[in-house]
């Protein structure tokens, strides 16, 4: 990995001070217990996702993933680590493990994390069709949400892909990737509109030339009461493989509370054109503590 993405990573990791301001007023009346719920900064989630597509090849690839994530949120700062287990079948290798839905310190799913991973040409010497499984690439994401006003929010994040997947099985490239992203969201009544952009600095394996890429996304969410929502997400993403078509994915999602501590996210969608997945979908169960 070059020094350039490393420098960007350091620049985007939020450095704002995270301090609470407490105000007290002297009174002769006895203090009353606060009705505010205790903060729950930690969240663990277990997801399951499935996608298939030709990705500009002659035969389809099938990717099933079970990401296990731990996330910590404090004020605007959030940190998430994800370990995925992957089942891969098809003529392609996997550039990146599918990511869990949700993020940005918000309870609602956000664009850019709903895809089933990116496919690249299979490494020489591996069978043209395979059925393999194992631990994928671990991802660590650091982000910060800035509240520009009561209704407008700006989020910036850095995701580091660590090469923990087995390259000989086609579950990863064996290289570090850095993904820098940001999105701007605006609350309008019961709706939330957001647009985002991300740039991937792609590590270069020995057997194929890969490009750095850009992606854009737009997201519409409609709040069904205080903690439930439904929405629609669109993402345009360049292929890391020179000459491969870009992907255009459209995804519908819902996020519903089960208890005060748990919620379930469900999504499904499809790609438009040759570069995206023909079918993608999944769910995640999340628990706060």
Q: Look at residue 110 and tell me if it is in a domain.
A: yes
What's the rounded Cα separation, in Å, for the pair 193 and 185?
A: 6
Distance of CA 238 to the CA centre of its chain: 17
Q: Look at residue 33 and tell me if it is in a domain.
A: no
Q: Look at residue 202 and tell me if it is in a domain.
A: yes
Q: Look at residue 14 and tell me if it is in a domain.
A: no
Q: How many domains does the chain have?
A: 1
What's the pLDDT band for 12 if we cut at 50, 70, 90? very low
Q: Look at residue 120 and tell me if it is in a domain.
A: yes
Residue 266: give its domain's CATH number.
2.40.160.40
Q: Look at residue 244 and tell me if it is in a domain.
A: yes
Q: Look at residue 199 and tell me if it is in a domain.
A: yes
Average pLDDT (6-22) is 36
What's the rounded Cα separation, in Å, for the pair 60 and 277?
A: 9
pTM for this predicted structure: 0.81
Q: Look at residue 19 and tell me if it is in a domain.
A: no
Buried b or exposed e, range 36-69, using 16+ CB within 10 angstroms:
eeeeeeebebebbbbbbbbbbbeebbebbbbbeb
Residues of the domain holding 44: 3-8+39-288
Q: What is the pLDDT of residue 230?
A: 93
Least confident range of 41-55, 105-119, 150-164: 105-119
């Amino acid at each position: 990995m070059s020094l350039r993405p490393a420098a960007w990573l350091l620049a985007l990791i939020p450095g704002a001070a995270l301090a609470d301001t407490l105000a007290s007023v002297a009174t002769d009346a006895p203090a009353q217990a606060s009705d505010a719920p205790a903060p729950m900064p930690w969240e663990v989630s277990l997801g399951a996702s499935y996608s298939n597509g030709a990705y500009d090849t002659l035969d389809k690839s099938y990717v099933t993933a079970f990401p296990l994530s731990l996330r910590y949120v404090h004020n605007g700062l959030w940190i998430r680590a994800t370990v995925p287990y992957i089942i891969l079948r098809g003529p392609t290798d996997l550039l990146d493990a599918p990511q869990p839905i949700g993020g940005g310190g918000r309870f609602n799913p956000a664009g850019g994390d709903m895809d089933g991973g990116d496919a690249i040409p299979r490494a020489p010497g591996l069978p043209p069709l395979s059925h393999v499984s194992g631990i994928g690439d671990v991802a660590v994401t650091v982000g910060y949400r800035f509240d520009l006003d009561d209704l407008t929010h700006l989020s910036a994040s850095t995701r580091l892909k660590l090469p923990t997947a087995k390259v000989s099985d086609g579950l990863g490239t064996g290289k570090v990737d850095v993904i820098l992203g940001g999105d701007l969201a605006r609350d309008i009544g019961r709706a939330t509109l957001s647009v985002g952009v991300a740039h991937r600095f792609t590590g270069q394996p020995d057997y194929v030339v890969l490009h750095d890429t850009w992606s854009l996304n737009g997201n519409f969410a409609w709040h069904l009461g205080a903690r439930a929502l439904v929405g629609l997400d669109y993402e345009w993403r360049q292929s890391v493989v020179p000459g491969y078509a870009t992907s255009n994915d459209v995804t519908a999602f819902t996020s519903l509370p089960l208890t005060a501590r748990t919620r379930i996210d469900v999504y499904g969608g499809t790609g438009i054109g040759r570069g995206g997945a023909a079918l993608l979908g999944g769910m995640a169960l999340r628990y706060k503590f």
